[in-house]
Structure 1
Amino acid sequence: MKVLHINAGLEDGGGKNHILSLLSQFDSSVAELLVLEEGIIAEEAKKLGITVHTLKQQSRYDLSILKRLAQFINDHSFDIVHTHGARANLIFSLIHKKVPALWFTTVHSDPTLDFMNRGVKGYVFTQLNLASLKKADHLIVVTDSLIKPLCDLGINKEKITVIYNGLQFGSPLVKATKTNKQFTLTCVARLHPIKGHELLLESLDAARFSDFTLNLVGDGELRSALEKKVQELNMQDRVHFLGFLNKPQVDVTIKNSDLTLLASYNEGFPMVLLESANQKVPFIATSVGDISLLVPDKQYGWCVPAGSTESLTKALNEAYDEWENGTLETKGELVYQLASTQFSLKKFYDATLALYETFIHA
């Protein structure tokens, strides 16, 4: 069996970690990676010993690569092509009838929302991606909650399999200081409307404590608007925009935090929460996707309704009280035990391999 994973190559969030962690488990003779452009994914994949190919697409509109891509897949006799992301989906949809390989695609979030607030261009990209998804032989979703939206688009439920993200859990890093002088919070998410940063800032402004530090890890289209929001709320000394960080830097930032935050309006099963659990740092997250599987009750952390400033503020106040009382770390230990048992990288890999083999031997 030979599998080719395809991605645009510029992904720098949970999708990147999903692809790289999965491919790191496969023998290089079984699974390889092809990126449309050189970028962070190719760079990190090579460091992991993953076989990487680059098509050097000049832009997302460059279709001159189609013939080369089809020839490459056929010449290397790949049995399965596994795409990740809207651009990879579209590009392969244009040639999939010219190659005998089975087509799998992973859906990480609600595809109707991926290009929200992007105007006409966003609408067009959304429609192209939805049309591409319908052509795939099989879809993998990272959360059970994505099945219904996909079925509503006309995709047969039998073509969909849920495989949760997994992480290689290990010994947490050592915290720089045993106790932070200020309540230290970190949110790792691209600066996009779907991630709820503005609501997070408003909830912090409404909280009854002000001695906090908030690290915002990630970049995106909302950066200037969020920087302006921080100024309006007079939080510029407490909110730090750290931009893009590599994985080791993210791990260190999380470990040196008391709590991580995710205020998204839509998610699948975020890798960043597994990364937080691996560092034994509890979190407040919105109850979207299957996040509640990591927070079965309040012993483990907080799962609040999406879009509710009141609920998020209440959770922040409760977390602050636990930080002051020295009981917050207990939640971190519990969520680590749960996540490392239920959502290991081995389970993620085994489920993916089993699905591939089911189709290959059908």
Structure 2
Amino acid sequence: MNIAYLVNRYPTVSHTFVRREIDGIEAAGHHVHRFSIRAAPEDLPDPADRAERERTAVVLGRALPLLMTAARGAIGRPGRAWRAWRAGGTMTPPTLRGLVARAAYLAEACWLAAAMKRADVRHLHAHFGTNPAAVARMAHLLSDIPYSFTVHGPDEFDAPRELDLAGKIADARFVVAISDYGRSQLCRWVDVALWPRIVVVRCGVDLATIDEAAGVAEPDFDFCCIARLAPQKGLPILLEALALLGQRGIRPRVALVGDGPLRNELERGIERLGLGGQVALLGSRGGADVAAQLRASAAMVLPSFAEGLPVVIMESLAVGTPVVTTAVAGIPELVDEQCGWVVPAGAAAPLADAMARALATDAGVRARMGAVGRGRVAAHHDAHANAAALLKHMETA
């Protein structure tokens, strides 16, 4: 079966779970056509992502072919184009900017519908319930190719009405939540009759690939934090927690792997709090180096305010490293006191206490906690098993 995947920007360092999902589907004998609305970054650190970029078609790659395809689609099938345009009105605000976004979605959907028809695609799956799901819905209305989409959160849960999650779910053959918590949030916005359409397929990791990864870790760090440097990750709270630990005479070193819009703010916070010798901003790293940094740490710390269910927690537990994290969204479905330390979000003192407990915990106990976590990942977050579960839904659709 020919299957199409649509992501807003693919591949990126934070979307390796999509690549693993595609690998699992193709391992079952199907072919996946990759589509990205925007071009992937040029500076991808992981060789597997760089190879994936070459396999991915970019919807917004060239303006003239996009506009010509959109015009042909609208003129050739005006009734379907009108249906798609009307649906676009429920997914964009009634402003000039919203009108521009609506027109852009329709053009992208026309291009995607034509590309899928040429490839004899039988099913379209989008990741994220934001603009990828909007374009997928409109492409479905233009082509009759069934679609589904995966909702990760938290962005979708912050604006369910503005994104018209209810309309997207109603038109989809099925919708995927990555946790039970995520499914509960989607069920809030649709009629009870549509609840069976919302299924849970968890994100996964490839344990064999992680075990074989031969990366390099920066030495002499007690903790690592693998995160996009964005407000929802709560990283300024981590700096506050380190400052509180310093008042107790505890000065752990933290390797912060990732990049994003808060980098300058974090650099200023590190300087202001006198943490220059404790926190290193290492930037983005490839998967092998991330696995090595996780293995070299006493624990991985992630003080998020809002999440879906972070894949990096799965990766940390997969290498046997327990985690210090917050009780938000789907995280408590994977992490508890048997494999980590879970604290309230937004408060520096509980985070500092948990980090101190992690440092004081015997290495053998931490290893046993990591082993419990790895067992949970193997049971519920195996990439190939979860890809097979998703594929069954696609085949039924």
Q: State TM-score, norm by structure 2.
A: 0.77
| 2:4 aligned partner | 4
SS at match of 2:147: strand
Cα deviation, residue 175, structure 1: 9.1
Q: Quick one: distance in 2 between partners of 1:187 and 1:129?
A: 34
Q: Give the letter for the 2:51 counterpart.
A: K
| 2:185 aligned partner | 149
Q: Quick one: distance in 2 between partners of 1:176 and 1:17?
A: 19
Distance 1:131 1:231, change over 3 A: farther
The correspondence for 2:305, drawn from 265, 288, 297, is 265
Q: Quick one: distance in 1 between partners of 2:380 and 2:155?
A: 26
| 1:348 aligned partner | 386
| 1:53 aligned partner | 57
Distance 1:197 1:46, change over 3 A: closer
Query: 1:45·1:52 contact (CA, 8 Å) conserved in 2?
Result: no
Query: 1:57·1:65 contact (CA, 8 Å) conserved in 2?
Result: no
| 1:167 aligned partner | 205
Q: Quick one: distance in 2 between partners of 1:176 and 1:66?
A: 42
Q: Quick one: distance in 2 between partners of 1:304 and 1:313?
A: 10
| 1:20 aligned partner | 19
Query: 1:107·1:142 contact (CA, 8 Å) conserved in 2?
Result: yes
The correspondence for 1:294, drawn from 309, 315, 334, is 334
Query: 1:183·1:211 contact (CA, 8 Å) conserved in 2?
Result: no
The correspondence for 1:193, drawn from 206, 231, 238, is 231
| 1:117 aligned partner | none
Q: Give the letter for the 1:47 counterpart.
A: A
1:177-192 alignment, distance < 5 Å: 182=220, 184-192=222-230
| 1:109 aligned partner | 153
Query: 2:123·2:145 contact (CA, 8 Å) conserved in 1?
Result: yes
The correspondence for 1:306, drawn from 326, 345, 357, is 345
SS at match of 1:69: helix
Q: Give the letter for the 2:33 counterpart.
A: E
SS at match of 1:264: coil
The yes-or-no answer on 1:80 pairing with 2:95 is no
Distance 1:130 1:175, change over 3 A: closer
Query: 1:281·1:332 contact (CA, 8 Å) conserved in 2?
Result: yes
Cα deviation, residue 104, structure 1: 0.5
1:188-223 Cα deviation digits (max 9, x unpaired)? 111111111111221222123533211111222212
Query: 2:291·2:315 contact (CA, 8 Å) conserved in 1?
Result: yes
Query: 2:298·2:359 contact (CA, 8 Å) conserved in 1?
Result: no
1:100-126 Cα deviation digits (max 9, x unpaired)? 111101011133466xxxxxxxx7x98
SS at match of 1:71: helix
Q: Which moved more, 1:232-241 or 1:21-30?
A: 21-30
| 2:257 aligned partner | 217
Query: 1:111·1:126 contact (CA, 8 Å) conserved in 2?
Result: no
Paired residue total: 345
SS at match of 2:9: coil
Larger radius of gyration: 2
Structure 2 gaps of 5+ residues are 64-99
Q: State TM-score, norm by structure 1.
A: 0.84
Distance 1:169 1:17, change over 3 A: same
Cα deviation, residue 225, structure 1: 1.4
Q: Give the letter for the 1:226 counterpart.
A: L
Q: Which moved more, 1:73-82 or 1:330-339?
A: 330-339
Query: 2:216·2:288 contact (CA, 8 Å) conserved in 1?
Result: no
Q: Quick one: distance in 2 between partners of 1:332 and 1:239?
A: 24
Distance 1:209 1:106, change over 3 A: farther
SS at match of 1:25: helix
Query: 1:10·1:39 contact (CA, 8 Å) conserved in 2?
Result: yes
The yes-or-no answer on 1:237 pairing with 2:277 is yes
SS at match of 1:237: coil
Cα deviation, residue 183, structure 1: 5.2
SS at match of 1:26: helix
Cα deviation, residue 148, structure 1: 2.7
| 2:72 aligned partner | none
Cα deviation, residue 82, structure 1: 0.4
Structure 1 gaps of 5+ residues are 115-122
Q: Give the letter for the 2:122 counterpart.
A: D
Q: Quick one: distance in 2 between partners of 1:133 and 1:219?
A: 31
Higher relative helix content: 2
Cα deviation, residue 261, structure 1: 1.0
